[in-house]
Structure 1
Amino acid sequence: MNDVSRQPGAGPRHWQWQARAACRGLGPGRFFHPAGERGDDREGRDEAAKRVCAGCPVRTACLEHALSTREPFGVWGGLTEEERRRLLTGAGARRVAV
């Protein structure tokens, strides 16, 4: 079961940014890799997701959400789960551009 203790409240103000997201309607396949996907396939999926995020008007809000809720999977706000983990732990924080 997922730990929802860090999830924002149910109020619409917590989620309104999602309605303006560039990824809205694209489906999860571009942003969440299948279990076990590695190498060029995974890198290609991540890069395609990051291209969508690059022009997104709510990229910052998306990344803030992912960091505050410790989203464990997928590309959020232009960063992969590994990149977000490095930001949160401080390791490599200077190498990852937000």
Structure 2
Amino acid sequence: MWNVLDDDAPFPSDLDVPVAPVLPLFGSDDPDETALDWQERALCAQTDPEAFFPEKGGSTREAKKVCTGCEVRAECLEYALANDERFGIWGGLSERERRKLKRRVV
């Protein structure tokens, strides 16, 4: 076993021992991609954020229309459900629609 106190011992990566790869937690096998990199690819990041957080009783139609063509819609919805987002349109669903979805799943 490698010892940090032994200056003459070879470092573990210098040994000819196979090392198991680290598996990604959030579906990406790109080591440079973090868990929230999907947000940079989201179409909402390129549009007016106020559309995604309408006033109470305001229309959600514009935001949902943007979501329909977004490549990271599933990641967005998963994030909102996992983090209990209470406001805004996430993954094409309003807060009320996300609550209904959670009730059906649980």
TM-score scaled by length of structure 2: 0.64
Counterpart in the other structure of 2:103: 89
Moved over 4 A (4+): none
5 Å-filtered alignment, 1:60-71, equals 60-71=74-85
5 Å-filtered alignment, 1:1-98, equals 13-34=34-55, 37-38=56-57, 42=58, 44=59, 46-90=60-104
Counterpart in the other structure of 1:96: none
- CA displacement, residues 54-92 of structure 1 (integer Å, 9 cap, x when unaligned): 0001000000000110100010000000000011122xx
Counterpart in the other structure of 2:24: none
Q: Aligned equivalents of 1:85 and 1:28: distance in 2?
A: 22
1:27: how far off?
3.2
1:22: how far off?
0.7
Question: Relative CO higher for 1 or 2, CA cutoff 8 Å, sep ≥ 6?
Answer: 1
Identity of aligned residues (%): 45
Any unmatched runs of 5+ in structure 2? 1-32
Number of residue pairs the alignment of both structures matches: 74
- Name the one with the larger helix percent: 1
TM-score scaled by length of structure 1: 0.68
Q: Aligned equivalents of 1:26 and 1:52: distance in 2?
A: 9
Task: Calculate the aligned-residue CA RMSD, in Å.
Answer: 1.8
**1:85 is aligned with what amino acid?**
R
